[in-house]
Structure 1
């Protein structure tokens, strides 16, 4: 069953077209890589799906219902959660309070004892068990990313958008991150991830969509897409194709 559908989605910033006529579907339970060189429009696409940017043209539908035109809070309440390239923590709060903020603003807010239990479960899911009371501003880079993921999962999303969540990790952290995303995939969450770490893409994604200069240039099984001449040219230049 199709969960997410983009049809002719375009985003213009004045005279600049950042995304141009982007169309693709995601089926329920898929983990799909959204790839492309820097400046190709990937994050802008995520921003439109999650409602942080309005579309200039085209439509975005979730579960058959049009969501383009809705604000980010309304789209989040329909089951879309995301992470950002730069982790956006609430540094004056504890790790648990950061997750509590997400629980409090979901469609069905959770408070009190139920929230405490849910916070502990979410932190355990992402590898931060027992650290709810730790100040958020004392976390390492990988643990900040874990906390951000716990906040995203607090809304119990059907669609999770990961914007370079694995970027900047050392090899040990990367392996742990891949295992964590694999566990989410195995729970049936549909995942669209923007990523430049090709080892992670190969390990996680059965399918990839590739963008260049705002448009889609490839869409198919990961191995086929990564061997495509146009994709190689987009990343490495004509001499490597």
Structure 2
């Protein structure tokens, strides 16, 4: 069974069609890159999947269960977790408390000492063990991204939505980040990766879906879609195609 199935998804804002009859699927344990130039509708798709927005039309199913239009906390309980293009941490809470907050919304909510211990494990996994009691607002930008991922993993997701999580990393951090994402795939987590770092796309993605102006214009392996003339036009313009 597909981990995720999206069929004829549509979202408009006034006269702008942000997502136009989009369909694709993600298998269990597969990484699918959701690519496209800025403004192509990628983050809107992430918002529709996670419940931040309700679609105007179309279906979203996770493990055969309809989730389109459900409240974000219900989508989280169904097994969807995400990070954000603009990092969102609970700045006045420490790193452990941020992850404990995520554990409260997981498919199997965890509390008390058990939650604190599990939060420590997740912080260690993303490289933040030494910052367990550091206020989230005092962390560097990169460490805030790590914290946001730890909080997402606290939900024990079936599907993880990573919205430019690898952006802004230096070369060594990028290698660490790629290895971490790959380890999640190896554990059977399905991942949708919105990313402009092409080294990461080539290294991680089994397939890519490319959007432009809200519509899907290509789907296939990273090598195939990134050499597609229509994709090159979307990114670079007609003069460079």
Common fold by TM > 0.5: yes
Name the structure 2 match of 1:29.
Answer: 29
Once the 2 structures are TM-superposed, how far is the Cα of residue 105 of structure 1 from its aligned partner?
2.6
Matched, 1:163 2:167: no
Once the 2 structures are TM-superposed, how far is the Cα of residue 81 of structure 1 from its aligned partner?
0.3
User: How many pairs were matched up?
Assistant: 241
**SS of the residue aligned with 2:61?**
strand
Once the 2 structures are TM-superposed, how far is the Cα of residue 111 of structure 1 from its aligned partner?
1.2
TM-score of the two chains, using structure 2 as the length reference = 0.97
Task: Tell me, yes or no, if the aligned pair for 2:84 and 2:163 is still in contact at 8 Å.
Answer: yes
Name the structure 1 match of 2:90.
Answer: 90
Once the 2 structures are TM-superposed, how far is the Cα of residue 85 of structure 1 from its aligned partner?
0.5
Task: Tell me, yes or no, if the aligned pair for 1:120 and 1:130 is still in contact at 8 Å.
Answer: no
Residues in 2 aligned to 1:167 and 1:131: alpha-carbon distance in whole angstroms: 21
Task: Tell me, yes or no, if the aligned pair for 1:100 and 1:119 is still in contact at 8 Å.
Answer: yes
- Runs of 5+ unmatched residues, structure 2: none
Once the 2 structures are TM-superposed, how far is the Cα of residue 222 of structure 1 from its aligned partner?
1.2
Structure 1 residues 45-64: aligned runs within 5 Å: 45-64=45-64
Structure 1 residues 1-241: aligned runs within 5 Å: 1-241=1-241
- The two structures, once aligned, show a CA RMSD in angstroms of 1.0
Once the 2 structures are TM-superposed, how far is the Cα of residue 130 of structure 1 from its aligned partner?
3.5
- Residues 168-219 of structure 1, C-alpha deviations (whole Å, 9 max, x = no match): 2222222221121111111111000100110110011021000000000001
- Runs of 5+ unmatched residues, structure 1: none
**SS of the residue aligned with 2:235?**
helix
